[in-house]
Amino acid sequence: MINLPNFLIIGAYSRNAGKTGFARQVIKQMNGNITALKVTVIKNEQFNCPRGGRSCGVCSSLESDFEISEEHNKNTGKDTSELLRAGAKRVLWLRVRENAVTKGMEELLKQIEILQPVICESNSIMKSVTPSLFFLLQAKSEQIKKKTALVVEDRADLIIRTDAESSNFDFSRLNFKNSQWVLT
């Protein structure tokens, strides 16, 4: 396990549970002094779209064990653009094969300031890292839970109920002190 006290990881029981919206709120709470990460873990045998729709090419275009890209465009409509538009100092996207998560994370860590706050969207990354806080979002309307969430739910510091654009979380409770996240 990689120990990452400067990381707040946001996972979710289902798609569209509000991870990016939640991350935007945290970025605003931090006045933009934060690096945002999106991690997409691709199962090694995955040939169909993991989201159940038509393939967008994210999985099939990965030619090596992992790829790290930085978002610079605030207007693509992608989650990474939304995080940048919310005011994040930097937004990085790690696409990584399931068997190379640790290797991908080690390379990603070389590109960020280790003492600065980081917010990361991912369930699967929790199998390889220990952040200071891990929040799991649960959409009020969703009953089916992703396998990736069920595997890591026992590690959640907090389960937060959400709807399309809001949650029951008081963002003033979240602070970054002494290079780690604290929940008061």
User: Given this model, what pLDDT does residue 50 score?
Assistant: 47
* pTM listed for this prediction: 0.88
| pLDDT score recorded for residue 61 | 55
How much is the pLDDT for 44?
A: 63
Q: What is the pLDDT of residue 64?
A: 74
CATH class of the structural domain 2-183: alpha beta
Chain segment 7-64, per-residue pLDDT in tens: 999 999 988 888 999 999 999 999 989 999 999 988 765 444 444 444 544 555 566 7
Q: Could you state, in order of their start, the residue ranges of all structural domains in the chain?
A: 2-183
Q: How far apart are CA 149 and CA 17, in angstroms?
A: 12
Residues 6+ away with beta carbon under 8 Å from 38? 79, 80, 83, 91, 92, 93, 94, 120, 121, 122
